[in-house]
């Protein structure tokens, strides 16, 4: 018989709205993201609390994660760089998520650059899908990926949050008007 995975949940206030995080008892981040208007994070929280294989308990600052993320939003941008995470997902998704953490703060890469970086230059669309499936928002910085033409593209928490995060990290966004056409190449 499998024992349930005990997880801890906290929610912090940020300049962009409430931000939730889920950690295991070892202090490793398993999920994070904005909770208002972000359907994926809301689904993840529901899955963790309703699935028989998990137990989810409210806990302040599990493993120091809430404090580190609060410091990031207060301007200590390096506070989240080395936070421990548990990577779930396919081998390809995990490769993309590890590469996301290699994008320097204050920089952006295109989906094509990210695909090239992981040695899969023809897998640009798959890289985009993996980027969109990232369960650890902000800490695994999927917001640092933009379209081939420099446009801000799909961000589950909304493009205004993506724009804010990039500005917060020192990236002066100068791209074209946001467009859904011809941006993932």
Measured CA angle at 63 (ends 97, 100), to 5 deg: 15
**Cβ neighbourhood burial of 6 (10 Å; 0-12, 13-18, 19+):** exposed
* All residues at 6 or more sequence positions from 87 whose CB lies less than 8 Å from its CB, including other chains: 93, 94, 97, 98
Tokens (6 digits) for 121: 């230059």
Residues β-bridged to residue 55 = 6
Active site residue 82: no
Q: Among 28, 82, 105, 142, which one carries the catalytic annotation?
A: 142
Give the sign of the dihedral formed by CA 86, CA 118, CA 102, CA 112.
negative
**Residues involved in catalysis:** 142
């Amino acid at each position: 018989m499998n024992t349930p995975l005990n997880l801890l949940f906290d929610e912090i206030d940020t300049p962009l709205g409430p931000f939730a995080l889920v950690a295991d008892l070892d202090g490793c981040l398993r999920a994070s993201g904005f909770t208002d208007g972000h359907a994926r994070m809301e689904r993840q929280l529901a899955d963790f609390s309703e699935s028989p294989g998990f137990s989810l308990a409210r806990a302040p600052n599990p493993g120091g994660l809430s404090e580190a993320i609060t410091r990031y939003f207060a301007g200590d941008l390096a506070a989240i760089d080395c936070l421990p995470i548990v990577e779930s997902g396919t081998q390809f998704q995990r490769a993309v998520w590890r590469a996301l953490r290699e994008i320097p703060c204050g920089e952006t890469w295109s989906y094509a650059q990210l695909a090239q970086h992981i040695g899969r230059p023809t897998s640009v669309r798959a890289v985009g899908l993996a980027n969109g499936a990232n369960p650890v928002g902000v800490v695994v910085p999927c917001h640092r990926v933009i379209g081939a033409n420099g446009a801000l593209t799909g961000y589950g928490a909304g493009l205004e949050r993506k724009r804010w995060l990039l500005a917060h990290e020192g990236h002066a966004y100068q791209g074209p008007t946001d467009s859904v056409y011809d941006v993932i190449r």
